[in-house]
Amino acid sequence: MLSWALTFLIIALVAAALGFTGIAGAASSIAQILFVIFLILFVVAMIARAVRGRPPV
């Protein structure tokens, strides 16, 4: 999921450099949403691992 966020971030940067503001705005919004979803899933996974009692590797 993080790779998708990075992909949309790169698309947004390229589109912004070329002057396509609509596409750049949409791609950056998608990248932000995917990054937040990734962070939420990461925190849930860390909490689940801590509840199970397994030490981090």
Per-residue confidence (pLDDT) for residue 57, from 0 to 100: 66
Domain containing 27 equals: 2-52
Per-residue confidence (pLDDT) for residue 21, from 0 to 100: 83
Q: What is the pLDDT of residues 27-56, one digit of tens each?
A: 888 888 988 999 999 999 989 888 887 666
Tokens (6 digits) for 18: 């070329």
Q: Considering the chain, what is the average pLDDT of its residues?
A: 85
Q: Indicate whether 30 belongs to any domain.
A: yes
Q: How many domains does the chain have?
A: 1
Q: Indicate whether 57 belongs to any domain.
A: no
Q: Indicate whether 43 belongs to any domain.
A: yes
Q: Indicate whether 24 belongs to any domain.
A: yes
Q: Indicate whether 42 belongs to any domain.
A: yes
Whole-model pTM? 0.70
**How far apart are the C-alpha atoms of 23 and 49, rounded to whole Å?**
39
**How far apart are the C-alpha atoms of 18 and 14, rounded to whole Å?**
6
Q: What is the pLDDT of residues 7-33, one digit of tens each?
A: 888 888 888 888 888 888 888 888 889
Torsion angle, alpha carbons of 27, 29, 34, 36, to 10: 150
